A and B are shown apart, each in its own frame.
Chain A
Amino acid sequence: CKKSFLELTPQGEFLESNYYANPAQALTALVAAYDPLVTETGGLDGTYTDPLGPLNSASDDCFAGGGGSSDVPDWQAINNYTMTPAVGPQAGFWAINFQGVNRADVLLEKLPNVPGLSEDVLKRYTAEAHFLRAHYYFDLVRLFENVPLILNTLQISEVYQQPQAKPEEVYAQVEADLTAAIPDLPVTVAASENGRVTQGAAKALLGKVYLYEKKWALAASTLEEVNGTPGGTSTYGYKLLNNFGDIFSPTNKFNSESIFEIVHTGMQNYTWSNWNQFKSNVYVQMVGPRSFTGPIYYAGGYGFNPITPNLVAAMKGDPRYPYTIANIDSLTKATGTSYDESYQGTGYYIEKYAPKVKNIVTTGLTDLNWPNDYIEIRLADTYLMEAEALVQAGTNTGRAGDLLNAVRARVGLAAETPTLDNIYKERRLELATEGHRWFDLVRTGQAPAALAFKGFQAGKNEILPIPLTETLNGTQIKQNPGY
């Protein structure tokens, strides 16, 4: 009889056993599955964890930069290819993506039993969960190659029993999840739902996955559905913007070129006590020049990811240069102002995500409330991916040329032959600092040569080390070769 006296229910906190009881709660679970897409700060290792920082630091587009050689050591380590299992950005990548996997697994397990959920909503949420799990696993397999494949939530007793799956098994699961998601996803969403997964986004991601798997024909045919007629408006309403610079403006979110956009907000008045909660874009703050006194840019940037001379040279004369590279050095000289050069500074900074005075939020702390979105998949990218797949497959080089030249024509460049080299070059210039370069170098085998100046070791640095804690304490996880 005393037992009930001891069985209490928590105040203001839901028990897992009672939750997922209505459609509103199902939506909160869906939101939680999206949440790891924007893990700006905190993460599971308590550090700054935006993915662009490490990816740009790893590539030949940027250096790590910052205030000094020990400023954000994880970025410095990947910049120098001195990662060890304990030091490097892998802890953030690993944990965030597995957290995403878990949230998607929770969703897939709970959704069928949520009372009152309409058939349509159930289908859509389920499809979104599949898309998100595929998205997280695609990042994991690209970054680590050897990861455990966890498709349902784990009991504590099962946690230590998880072996690493073969990469092809993971890819197969990613394909399966995306294939399952596509038919149930909406073609378009209401403005208030912008940023939620659409059919186009899922097809674009699937095409990209096929490309990474070198399944050229599948990649080309899937991406073609997304791209439609080169230069025109696709079935899903995608169309290249006329003005390249408009793509990245926070006043032009969800534009017609955006296929999968990672949404940020400037309206939440975040302060330093909200660490771990930021859905603003802290990366914008990170890449601003330090102690800057000139016009256009915010004065209090942190000076990360200065542009390499290598990229500056490659972009020389390209119409996209001013929208890609901020030449702070000459700007300050021209305006008689000043800034503090970053560690590894070159005088050149990222322009696409630069903290601009005009984007400063009206309320709250500027540093922590940048509203800029990150467009992870955009039409120019899927054009170039399809072009590459077509060339590799050798099937329709005509369309490959149309795709390549649509991207070039948009910025007023003359047409070129769709060779692999030309497509790779175009990808670099079109998509510079957008987080694709390092993956492109690795998957096309150019990394050892292109990244030699940073210490890249072939056969080792194509993937990241597995975080130290994951291989200890009785797990089944084996460290990646070379680490």
Chain B
Amino acid sequence: STLNAQNILDKKISITLNNASLINVLNYLQKNDGVKFIYSNNAIDVNQQVSVDAKNLSLKNVLDQVLKSNGITYEVLKDRIILSKMTELKAAADVKLTKQNSITSAEAISIPITGKVIDKNGQPVIGASILEKGTTNGTTTDVNGNFKLNVEGPASVLTIAYIGYNNQEVTVGNQTDIAITLVEDVKALNEVVVVGYGTQRKATVTGAISSVKASDLQDQQVTRIDDALKGRTAGVNVVQSSGAPGSAPSIRIRGITSINNSDPLYVIDGVIVDNGGIDNINPNDVESIDVLKDASAAIYGSRASNGVIIITTKKGKQGPPKISYNGYIGFQGPVNKPELANASQYAMLRNEAVTNDGGTAIFANPESLGVGTNWQDQIFSNNALIQNHNLSINGATDKANYYTSFGYLDQDGIVMPSISNYKKFTFTTNTSYKVKKWLTIGENFTYSYTRNKNSLNTNSVFGGPLSSALNLDPLTPTVVTDINGQPNAGIYTSNANNIVRDAQGNPYGISNYVSQEITNPLAYVKTQQGNYGYATNLLGSAFIEVEPVTGFKFRSQISAKQAYYGSKSFTPIYYLNSSTSNLSNTSLYLENDKNLSWNIDNTLTYTHSFGKNNVTALIGTSAQKESGSGLGGTFLGLPVNTFNESSPNYALPNANKIANGFDNQPYTLASYFGRVTYDYDQKFLFTGIIRRDGSSKFGSNNVYGTFPSAQVGYVMSREGWFPTHSFIDYFKIRGSYGIVGNEMSLAPFQYTATIGSGRNYVFGDDGLIVGYSPNAPSNPNLRWEETRTANIGFDATLLNNLTVTFDIYKKTTKGMLQTVQLPAYAGFSAQPSANIGDMENKGVELNLGYSNRIGEFNYNIGGNISYNHNEVTYLGDQINFFKVGSVQNANYEIGRTEVGHPVGAFYGFEELGVFHSQAEIDNYKSANGTVIQPNAKPGDFKWNDTDGDGKITDADRKFLGNPLPTFTYGINFSANYRNFDIKLFGQGVWGNKIYQAYRRLDIASANYPIAALDAWTPTNTTGNYPRLTDSDPNNNFKNPSNFYLQNGAYFRIKTLQLGYTLPGAWLKKADVQRARVFLSSNNLATITGYKGYDPEISGGIDMGIYPQARTFMVGLDVTL
């Protein structure tokens, strides 16, 4: 190190500055000559004026010139130069300072003390500042953490400070060698939380607010920002209901708040965007996501009851321009495919079903048919490409900051990628200028373009590749080379001009057994080629911020979102099977829609502290308007037969051009709001919020709604009596209560009496006249749904490193919108809406975070778990339940929303296993001795006679489970050692069920799941799968029952990532600040008992959802 020190001091420097401040000199040396200085602001007055004039002199020479003459001494530690005050001079100064008071004290100075500053791991803290309290006497620690200082006497108090650690004070007493252990500042508490129209320090926040920071997100390869929330925070349940590229997940904050609409409100940089609005944000541009879960959401009033998700995008950071690239490329494949019967198994099972019904076997020799076609293998791609590239430039000076980024995503789907692909391009730029000390202006602009191919008709039993692959028989070949060898050769020859063929001109196989919407997926794909939807979004805002007097801040922001979206699709002439064909006309459909929403927000904030009282008051107004329209057209009979050739330019008869269009009903909102936050010594905390929302959707008796909330907090750990050296470092309890609204479920003009059309009549020969009449009486009382939300929780920091957040809440929703079932004699053509219906959500949330290091091994562990119980408590006097969910040809609905049960709970019969023998049927008797299922046969389900009436009727149905999880949880682990890092992130759910409806009930010849091989037969009397039968007299298959329900719990490793940061020495040569390469996998492993494509299903009914991909990626992060 001596050599190093010497090297630095020998460095040749040229510098000429007259009457510059010391800081400027130091910065100049630091910037131009790479010299680093460490000093304490308390010890060194960096604003003192100095002069220096050096031409090619050694650094030592320069420093001596600048520092020594100003009473500053220095030491070289490795590559740094530590500045401290010259003690001799200090002594002289102290004499001056103390002279007035006491002459003797001038002689009593200078007790020399030494000390060492270490962190909790015993590592020296280099460059910590040591200051004698109440004086300017101070120094800094050296490379070993040691310091020397002369202090006045035993009464002196030393203040030790270092960035990232809590300040510490030590009374000297009779110590001459003082050991000081600095405690790391708990970062989380200094973090800022965005609370809507402003921010608050986390330490004094009183609401239940979860935050996700860019640092948590940056290494997760998500294509949408809402996906990044999954498993990250307690109380926020993100369910990706489709693995189709670009598809939006459903987000529920603290359960389902309404039977109508439970989507949270999204706010991006103060701009309120609708549900689809966040599609257009590049996840890489996001600085933080804050989720208002409780009454703190009241600042957004009538739209807040489902919670508020506030997204803050990145802004330029202090420093020279920084250019960053990050990107990855990867391959995606399916994780799980359901097992289905192969050709010979299928033939055997079909024979079984037909003979059970008394028919004769269809297939003479099933064994000879081999395995046939595995349609599952046909529809999935094991190496679907995904690539994502992001480039950003940012920087800031004292006066301005700027941030610009470009993003590009191209993702193929894992199911039939030629019709499943998503592309997104985003561009964003924002700047702000501090024009005057009191004036700041700025703007933010985002452009995004998405193009989405998604013609798969997923989670539907009515066709599409997934449903077809589940139901199509394995006997049908993918491609037919020998038509005459097919049992249905006639179909091929009679439709020769219209059947779909592969590149070689061979027809794709057409099933001889399964028809309707179930078609050869390879042929289906050819009929959907090219079809896409698109969206262009422009999101812009500009603001002005004026601070005329310190403490008063006025801010005005105008924002707008303009969206253009539409689609293009082409239907060629095709024949897929007898019921799925288009033989008449080709058709081209084009649609272009647009949507504009804008808002203007004005806020005035006043911040003031007096004594230990700190007050921030906010008042504001907001106005918003939304409108939109669209136009679509169908062009029939184009003279071409492929998407690529199709165009509306072809001349067509007017009758072949059919237009349709719409105007969205406009919507306006005008609001006033205020918030007061007060704390006393950061110990007693209070927040009060009130918002008054006027909405064009509300009835004339309720034009304005008022939404108040109050929150209190108590930071117990700041009390004098709180033990200072216990394991609890910080402890805050808090509570909140408030009323928030939901107007999203309210359609415009529902409150007013409108005239409806379609009340037609015919006069004369075929002269139809369109009639108009009133729809429903007006309901001027119509208003928002209201949710009362109460929350109690605590935030704590334990053992320096462990943060705990715990919440318990209850949300009561009142006045959910429903259609009023007015008596029919009133004669209205439609029924009005009214606020009827209540619901309740109760839950508990726990968030834990722990970080520590062992030598150079740094690690973080975090976890969260939440429990929610949802219950419908009232649906009005007329209705006890709503039917929810249906499956083609099932005898009854699958679920019910009923008072006393969760929304959409599964409802049906309970099977108690199959009857293995006639004796079991005969012995299944009711209390009075009658045989309950006299018509059953061995192999049929034994149904639970729930009501005990001795018969199986629809009254025997009961609630069978909840489609919503009761527990959701997430864990994450990240660590780094030297240049290596690892991230592991997993999430899961527990307590829900999934209704699997893969097999078409109305197509007897649909393929069977592999479990059907265990069906009861006279030779397999121990089989536990019901006997196969097409007529199904016992309703084994047609009754919705627990037979179709499976446990939906799962735990999934969402992200596993290994990174390597290139050594600084290499990068320096290339003038690169940071470079990191990584290998990453999404959805690497899932632990679940669910036997289907994917247990992550929104709504709990699986009819062939698009499963999520397992992805392997390689990526690069570079910062210049």
Residues in chain A within 8 A of chain B (CB atoms): 2-3, 5-8, 10-17, 19, 25, 27-35, 37-38, 44, 91, 94-95, 98-103, 105-106, 147-148, 150, 153-156, 159-160, 162, 190-196, 253, 263-268, 276-277, 279, 371, 467, 469-470, 472-475, 477
Contacts and interface: CB of A to CB of B under 8 A. Distances in A.
Given A6-B703, A27-B769, A371-B766, A472 B825 contact: no
A98 B971 CA distance: 61
A5 B766 contact: no
Contacts of B827: 98-103, 105, 150, 153-154
B760 A469 contact: no
A266 B766 contact: yes
Contacts of A14: 754-755, 772
A403 to B, nearest CB: 30
29 contacts: A6-B694, A6-B696, A8-B666, A8-B696, A12-B663, A14-B755, A15-B753, A15-B754, A16-B753, A19-B755, A25-B772, A28-B770, A32-B772, A34-B761, A35-B761, A44-B824, A94-B824, A99-B828, A105-B827, A148-B825, A153-B774, A192-B763, A195-B763, A267-B768, A277-B760, A371-B766, A469-B824, A470-B825, A473-B823
B878 interface: yes
B761 A263 contact: yes
A148 to B, nearest CB: 5
Contact of B878 (A29, A94, A267, A472): A472
Given A5-B670, A472-B878, 13 more contacts: A8-B668, A10-B748, A12-B662, A14-B754, A15-B755, A16-B754, A25-B772, A98-B824, A98-B827, A150-B827, A156-B832, A192-B763, A467-B824
A31 B257 CA distance: 43
Given A11-B664, A94-B825, A105-B827, A3 B761 contact: no
B759 interface: yes
A197 to B, nearest CB: 11
A34 B771 contact: yes
A135 to B, nearest CB: 13
B829 A99 contact: yes
Contacts of B829: 99, 102
A364 B877 CA distance: 44
B825 A162 contact: yes
Contacts of A371: 766
Given A2-B694, A191-B764, A193-B764, A32 B773 contact: yes
A10 B761 contact: no
B interface, how many residues as a size bin?
Answer: 35 or more
A6 B761 CA distance: 37
B665 interface: yes
Ranked nearest first, the 8 interchain pairs of A and B with the lowest CB-CB distance are: A102-B827, A31-B771, A32-B771, A32-B773, A32-B759, A11-B663, A16-B753, A14-B755
Contacts of A35: 759-761, 771, 773
Given A15-B754, A29-B771, A102-B828, A475 B665 contact: no
Contact of B771 (A7, A28, A196, A477): A28
A23 to B, nearest CB: 13
A154 B777 contact: yes
B517 to A, nearest CB: 15
A5 B774 contact: no
A33 B823 CA distance: 19
A91 B825 CA distance: 10
B878 A16 contact: no
Interface in B738-779: 748-749, 752-774, 777-779
B585 to A, nearest CB: 14
A12 B755 CA distance: 10
A32 B830 CA distance: 14
Judged by DSSP, the binding face of B is: loop
A299 to B, nearest CB: 17
Nearest to A472: B878
Nearest to B625: A5
B822 interface: yes
Contacts of A276: 758
Contact of B826 (A13, A32, A102, A266): A102
B763 A263 contact: yes
Contacts of A5: 623, 668, 670
Instruction: Name the residue among A2, A150, A266, A477 with the largest chain B CB count within 10 angstroms.
Output: A2
A102 to B, nearest CB: 3
Given A8-B696, A10-B749, A95-B824, A473 B772 contact: no
A38 B760 CA distance: 9
B821 interface: yes
Contacts of B703: 3, 6
B770 A31 contact: yes
B462 to A, nearest CB: 14
Interface string B874-905: 00011000000000000000000000000000
Contacts of A31: 759-761, 769-772
Contacts of B767: 192
B695 interface: yes
Contacts of B771: 28-35
A8 B626 CA distance: 12
A267 B763 CA distance: 13
Nearest to B778: A16
Contacts of A33: 771, 773
Contacts of B779: 156
Nearest to A30: B771
A265 B755 contact: no
A265 B832 CA distance: 31
A154 B763 contact: no
Nearest to B832: A156
A384 to B, nearest CB: 28
A153 B765 CA distance: 32
B833 to A, nearest CB: 12
A195 B770 CA distance: 15
A134 B769 CA distance: 23
A37 B761 contact: yes
B772 A6 contact: no
Interface string B778-818: 11000000000000000000000000000000000000000
A34 B764 CA distance: 13
Contacts of A30: 771
Contacts of B766: 265-267, 371
Given A7-B696, A28-B770, A159-B826, A253 B878 contact: no
Nearest to A101: B827
A263 B768 CA distance: 10
B765 A191 contact: yes
A29 B827 CA distance: 15
B822 to A, nearest CB: 6
A374 to B, nearest CB: 12
A268 B829 CA distance: 22
Nearest to A190: B764
Contacts of A13: 665, 749, 754-756
A195 B764 CA distance: 6
Residue among B695, B758, B765, B768 having the largest count of chain A Cβ atoms under 10 Å = B765
A133 to B, nearest CB: 11
B144 to A, nearest CB: 68
B1029 to A, nearest CB: 19
B822 A159 contact: yes
Contacts of A38: 761-762
Contacts of B755: 13-16, 19
B823 A469 contact: yes
Contacts of B774: 16, 106, 153
Contacts of A3: 694, 703
Contact of B877 (A7, A19, A191, A473): A473
Contacts of B754: 10, 13-16
B760 A279 contact: yes
B1075 to A, nearest CB: 53
A11 B878 contact: no
Which of A28, A150, A162, A477 counts the most B-chain CB atoms under 10 A from its CB? Answer: A28
A473 B878 contact: yes
Nearest to B775: A16
